[in-house]
Amino acid sequence: MTISKPLGRQTEKLTTGTQAVAQAVKLADVDVMAAYPIRPYDGVMQAVAKLIADGELDAEYIVAESEHSQFEICKHASAVGSRVFVGSSGVGWMYAMESNAVTPSLRLPVVAMIGNRALDDPGAFGVEHNDAMAVRDLGWLLFWVEDAQECFDATLMAYRVGEDKRVFLPVGLGVDGAFITHSQTLIKIPDQETVNEFLPPYDLGERLLHPDNPISIAPQANEDWVMEIRKQTDDAAKRVKGVIREAHDDFRRLFGRGGDNPFFEEYMTEDAEYVLFGMGSLGLPAKVMVRRLRDRGEKVGFVRLKWFRPFPDEELAEVLGRFRAVGVVDRDYAYGSPQHGGVLFTDLRAALYDAERRPRVVNFIGGLGGRELTPEMMDEMAYITKRAAAGETVPTVSWIGVRE
């Protein structure tokens, strides 16, 4: 792996994931933020409000009366040419769904931080990925971050990719509640000039809603129109991967971070026979487990998916084809789905169907409702995956860490 030296100056700062997102919001010079509190997203409300109060960021900060209005405000602000930042968690995000569902069709590059939270009841606020996944089929791009540094990096990336003229789609950042939102680590923050070089100003061009540019957005559309609108979004969604690649190259060149592959991270996979596969903060215990197992001579690795939408199907098929078995860790559920597996598992199996070399794919459901995924649980998953690699009969889907 070759990482070039970053251009410009970088400063070290101790931040939570939400404070890291706020730092990126500041350097992206966001114009409008609409806010409504819910745990664990709300840390970013406080962090951005403080930046504005301290005179570090000049932006409109609108406290809405609900998530529904919050997302509507940002959608509309985006249409008049403002770079916007919004976000929520769990059922709050779901309450905004009417707005979220139409944002991709309007082709407005709203950037939202989704502080992943269980979809209640009973008042659960730990991480689950089902909240963000509610928009997985609607045209939202979805990125899952691993830590506070990636919170910062992915926020800049979200604006760069979402606002690209070939894309113009909203981007959701999946940030695991508690583990990322409520813990602080040291991150590196680049200077404004380098960020400006990476991120051009938001420009809607001829789609800008402005009195000098008389257009009407989203008039009534019936069956004569809708399918064509869907096809346009489909084409845009197909262009995203190319745009991500370009942005990733620039990101690495300018900031000296980001790894070889724009879509996923491979960890100790070179000679691996089997790997675990997952998203978000579980990367940390997974890496700890992989190192421990490597010390015991196990040929195990880990692949962490960053971009879930667009799903890097071909890229994954090529890489995962090298292994005998893949154990997919889902921090979500998909009741009644094929094999009763998780969302990531089902998508990955679909992506591998046409591949020349198909590994065995087994599934683990774990860490729901914020339950800790420990290296020991990862060890258990690795063991089942290893047995799958050896051709043994193992359950296709296993729930890990559930009390009987």
Partner 1 sequence: MSSGTEANTPPVAQDSAAGRSSTEVREEAKSVEFTYRGIYQKTLAANLCKHVVMAARKRDWLGSTIQRYGDSPERNGVPAKQFAVIAPDEMRLQEHMAKYEPNELDVITVLDDTLCDGVESWAFYGRQPINLRLRRGGTLLVISNRSAEELLKVIPRKPWDWTLAILPGTPSLGGLWVYRDDGTDMRVLGAIARTRPDIFEFSAVESVVNEDEKLGEEHLAALRDGYEEVVIHEVAAGVGKEDDYEPVRLPGYKEMREGIIVEARKLGERNPDYKTSSDRTMRPVVNFDTCIKCRQCWLDCPDECFDITEEGFHPVNYDYCTGCGICAQVCPVEDCIVMVNDLEFIEEGNEDVFPMWKEDKEAYHRWREEKIANGRIEHHDYFNADTWAWSGGKQADRTS
Residues that bind partner 1 in the complex, under the rule CB under 8 A = 14, 40, 121-122, 125-126, 147, 176-179, 182-186, 281-282, 284-285, 287-288, 291, 370, 372-373, 375, 402-404
Nearer to partner 1, 71 or 179 (CB): 179
Nearest approach in angstroms of CB 288 to partner 1 is 5
Nearest approach in angstroms of CB 301 to partner 1 is 16
Nearest approach in angstroms of CB 177 to partner 1 is 7
Residues with Cβ within 8 Å of residue 88, at least 6 apart in sequence: 36, 38, 41, 67, 70, 71, 95, 96, 112, 114, 115
Dihedral class, residue 139 (left if φ above 0, else alpha if ψ from -120 to 50, else beta):
left
Q: Are 361 and 345 in contact (CB under 8 A)?
A: yes
Determine the Cα angle at 191 with ends 148 and 180, to 5°.
5
Instruction: Return the sign of the alpha-carbon dihedral for residues 316, 319, 321, 324.
Output: negative
Q: Is 128 helix (H, G, I), strand (E, B) or coil?
A: coil
Nearest approach in angstroms of CB 65 to partner 1 is 20
Nearer to partner 1, 245 or 371 (CB): 371
Nearest approach in angstroms of CB 286 to partner 1 is 9
Nearest approach in angstroms of CB 296 to partner 1 is 16
Nearer to partner 1, 204 or 373 (CB): 373
Cα atoms found within 13 Å of the Cα of residue 19, Cβ hemisphere only? 13
Residues 389 and 221: their CA atoms lie apart, in Å, by 51
Residues 58 and 30: their CA atoms lie apart, in Å, by 8
Nearer to partner 1, 234 or 376 (CB): 376
Nearer to partner 1, 306 or 360 (CB): 306
Nearer to partner 1, 61 or 125 (CB): 125
Burial of 218 (0-12, 13-18, 19+ CB in 10 A): exposed
The pair of structure tokens assigned to 309 is 């939408």
**What would the DSSP string read from start to end of 151-162?**
HHHHHHHHHHHH
Nearest approach in angstroms of CB 293 to partner 1 is 14
Nearest approach in angstroms of CB 369 to partner 1 is 11
Nearest approach in angstroms of CB 328 to partner 1 is 18
Nearer to partner 1, 40 or 312 (CB): 40
Residues with Cβ within 8 Å of residue 30, at least 6 apart in sequence: 57, 59, 83, 84, 85
Residues 271 and 257: their CA atoms lie apart, in Å, by 24
Residues 88 and 101: their CA atoms lie apart, in Å, by 15
Nearest approach in angstroms of CB 285 to partner 1 is 5
Burial of 122 (0-12, 13-18, 19+ CB in 10 A): exposed
Q: Find, among 189, 210, 251, 186, the residue nearest to 27 by Cα.
A: 189
Nearer to partner 1, 286 or 326 (CB): 286
Nearer to partner 1, 160 or 287 (CB): 287
Q: Are 220 and 42 in contact (CB under 8 A)?
A: no
Nearest approach in angstroms of CB 284 to partner 1 is 4
- Cβ neighbours around 200 below 10 Å, total: 11
Q: Are 172 and 310 in contact (CB under 8 A)?
A: no
Q: Are 389 and 323 in contact (CB under 8 A)?
A: yes
Nearer to partner 1, 151 or 320 (CB): 151
Nearer to partner 1, 178 or 243 (CB): 178
